[in-house]
Chain A
Amino acid sequence: MFPSQFEYLAPTTLEEALSLLAEHAEDAKVLAGGQSLIPLMKLRFAAPAMIIDINGVPGLSHLQEDRRGRGYLRVGALVRNAALERSELLKSRYPTMAAAAPLISDPLVRNQGTLVGSLVHADPQGDWGSVLLALEGEVVAKSTSGERRIPATSFFDGPFTTVLRSDELAVEARVPAPGPRSFGTYLKLERKVGDFATVGVAVSVSTERGVVTRAGIGLTGVGPANIKAVDAEQALVGHRLTGKAIQQAAHLAAAASEPRSDVRGSADYKREVVRVYVARGLHQAFDAKAA
């Protein structure tokens, strides 16, 4: 690859990384897995003057659960998709994430790419954004001036833009544990393995005595950013997962999507796939006896 010239810095502590960011905020780009940044630099669509490679920063590779309260998952900024794909913890307690991880691109990209990098990159076709919206996760951002926790619902600011400041490093993503009697999945329509989603649907449902107490539905590839299908979620809460409730939620989710026609398919088609996939995801939830 023949990118524009850039300076390459490889901090070895978090403090160093943060102060480099503070100093060079406007000119610098953080390098995590490089699976989005490097292709952009190769095409010279991005030409940062400086690369701050965080791969040598210790303390960013944790994938663990904090069991306090309802509990939550902590995904460090250097946790690779491949690690998420293999994680038993995800398989047993975070089924939406476990379903999404192996559908992200191909094994090569998964070996490098990170969940946090994907969130920061904020590609409307990125899968993790929808998953975090469905699960109501958050991003922990650090800078020399402190730390803040940004809910996924206010993190994304449009295609390829987030509210993260240029002096901030996203150090981890947090995902609340869905808890017992929960089910979730991720369904993705792609043209081939390694392709971005034509349509992706994240579903997560928790129930108590057969009644939905919490529902999360995130949509990929059908709008200018990942979409949280709030109306559909609310239509489920307080109801049993009957065929009728599922159909209604699926319709609402389809209505919340804003797809565009392109080589992947017409807007009508994508909207229909949202409907079908949301229904399928919820039926799987029902079959899994989340209800």
Chain B
Amino acid sequence: MLLIYCPYCEIERAETEFHCGGEAHIARPSDPEKATDDDWVEFLYMRSNTKGIAAERWRHIHGCGRFFNAVRDTVSDKFLTFYKAGDPRPDLEALAREAGK
């Protein structure tokens, strides 16, 4: 069972308190009318499904209820960092190098 750090509660808790919300940093186009059909399909359905270092959304659903983001190695299941929703995406390659990947 994973251990997950909530950047709002500032505490590490077991996976059972959290809910994974899929790939992070997929922004809903702010003016949907201007989005092309391809843009919209990309937003709705296309996911990178990374084998390796990936940023994903988590929600502390049985805690503070907040959404936040985490960088996880999908091969080893190890988290590399956690950050609040709205914070910029970290440099995944640098994180991977730090983790020795």
A and B, one complex?
Answer: no
Chain A residues engaging chain B, CB cutoff 8 angstroms: none
Question: Which B residues contact A (CB, under 8 angstroms)?
Answer: none
